[in-house]
Structure 1
Amino acid sequence: MSDLTWLTPSHWTILALILGFAVVHSGMAALRSRGERLLGARFYRILFALASVPFAAVLILYFIAHRYDGLMLWHLQGVPGVRALVWALSALSFVFLYPATFNLLEIAAIQKPEIHLYEAGIVRISRHPQMVGQIIWCAAHALWLGTTFTLVTCFGLIAHHLFAVWHGDRRWQQRYGDAFAAAKARTSIIPFRAALDGRQSLHWQEFLRPAYLGVALFVGLLWWAHPWLLVAAEKVI
């Protein structure tokens, strides 16, 4: 009989946290139009952030605290070049995860939050850059950590983002109709596919934006604070 003592409760807890975050985040996104009519765009954005950000923070801290739970399937941390590769992939993941969708003034509700139909910058590479960024992030961390807990976490995160691809396209179709259908025809979910088959052209000057400088500064800050963050997470959780 196989020994399943490695299957710690934390494996199920992280899946439950991801599911809870997905329900809150995607659920509130689905209710955005109705919520904005009832509460106003700025107040609904604040409510969305108050529900999503603490949930995400708990999820991240729990992952850090339990990242070595379960079986160690591989250990490559001492292999030359792996650390640099993991950091490079992690930095690349944030390029996809954030600038395409985050307007900080709208996030902070200083400007009126809007739903934008983007077709520039990173969206020329993939219509759903956050999904691509999440997959790259998971690949980097799975390579570095090599535990079953990390693989379970990555499974949950990628499953959520794959659902978000369908959910996001559905909401855009409902809101923009033919305009989204045209944008969808010129873009692709798989990175670079639309460019390779001639439906899209890449304009690298569109990446010369303050948002990408912000990503670079964030990655640098994360690199500097990473040891402290690991210690802090293990004390909190």
Structure 2
Amino acid sequence: MNDFAWALAGFVLIHVGISATGLRARLVAAIGEWPYRGLFSLASLALLAWLVVGYQTMRDDPFDPLNEMLWLPPDWLRWPGYALSFLGVALAVTGVLSPGPTYAGFESRSLAQPEPARGVLRVTRHPFLWGAAVWGAGHLLINGERFAIMLFGGLALMAIFGARSIDRKGRARDADAWDRFADVTSNAPFAAIAQGRNKLALGEIGWRGLVGVAVSLAIMLTHGQLLRALAN
């Protein structure tokens, strides 16, 4: 395994093997919530930096086996892949800007409201994570290299498992409030709306959605330059 593979494995491991399991609760009990969050964030940033450096080294070596093609995506998959990648980034950015289950104190502030789910939370209670998963799925339709399957597939699966983990932790903190929230929302995007448990309210998404679309459009227009900058 090269640095890219080790860094990716470590990044996925701490998010799935620690944050999404009972090990997180034991660490929080031992050192406290905020020290845990600080150390977890530092570890994530360090692994992310290692991942970027490893990616650069791996892509510069044409003989690295991770650059080999596992499959050759047909041309007709490109536009669906672009569309999913665009929607994924827009949803993820909108989710970052919207108070949700990953925000500290969400249960005490938002779940007590008459309508606990508003804005993009009507679409999914985990917009950032599902945005990352959709973004990863879009790239899997376009990229067939070994490293791409590992990177985009791993991040997409990590996001989906992360959403389920947040559901479990939210219910453990306050089962009644969380169940009330879950009754009008869904993990999978648009499921609650399709089932009649909620409605789509684009006006509530407002400026957050516009920023998400703008950021996604900017990334698509500068994608080539960003990749070249990463490679240098």
Normalised by the length of structure 1, the TM-score is 0.69
Match of 2:105 in 1: 115
- Is 1:232 the equivalent of 2:229? yes
Asked whether the equivalents of residues 30 and 171 of structure 1 are also in contact (C-alpha less than 8 Å), the reply is: no
Q: Choose from 12, 17, 20 the match for 1:19.
A: 12
Match of 1:187 in 2: 185
| 1:1-237 correspondence to structure 2 within 5 Å | 9=2, 12-13=5-6, 15-22=8-15, 26=19, 30=24, 34=28, 38=32, 48-60=40-52, 62-63=54-55, 66=58, 69-76=67-74, 79=75, 82=78, 84-102=79-97, 114-117=104-107, 119-209=117-207, 211-235=208-232
Asked whether the equivalents of residues 4 and 51 of structure 2 are also in contact (C-alpha less than 8 Å), the reply is: no
Counterpart amino acid of residue 51 in structure 2: L
> Aligned partners of 1:155, 1:147: CA distance in 2, in Å?
12
> Aligned partners of 1:204, 1:103: CA distance in 2, in Å?
13
Instruction: Tell me: CA distance 1:10–1:71, structure 2 relative to 1, closer, same or farther (3 Å).
Output: farther
Deviations 1:23-54 (A, max 9, x none): 6982799459948x958x5x776555433334
Instruction: Tell me: CA distance 1:50–1:23, structure 2 relative to 1, closer, same or farther (3 Å).
Output: same
Deviations 1:42-75 (A, max 9, x none): x776555433334334435645765771224114
Shift of 1:17: 3.6
Normalised by the length of structure 2, the TM-score is 0.71
Where does the alignment leave 5 or more consecutive residues of structure 2 unmatched? 60-65, 108-115
Deviations 1:181-227 (A, max 9, x none): 11112222222221112111221211112x33332332244235433
Instruction: Tell me: CA distance 1:60–1:224, structure 2 relative to 1, closer, same or farther (3 Å).
Output: farther
> Aligned partners of 2:57, 2:139: CA distance in 1, in Å?
14
Aligned residues: 214
Counterpart amino acid of residue 155 in structure 2: L
Counterpart amino acid of residue 45 in structure 2: V
Larger CA deviation: 116-125 vs 162-171: 116-125
Q: Could you tell me the percent identity over the aligned residues?
A: 25
Q: Residue 145 of structure 1 aligns to a residue in which SS?
A: coil
> Aligned partners of 1:157, 1:226: CA distance in 2, in Å?
19
Counterpart amino acid of residue 178 in structure 1: D
Asked whether the equivalents of residues 122 and 193 of structure 2 are also in contact (C-alpha less than 8 Å), the reply is: yes
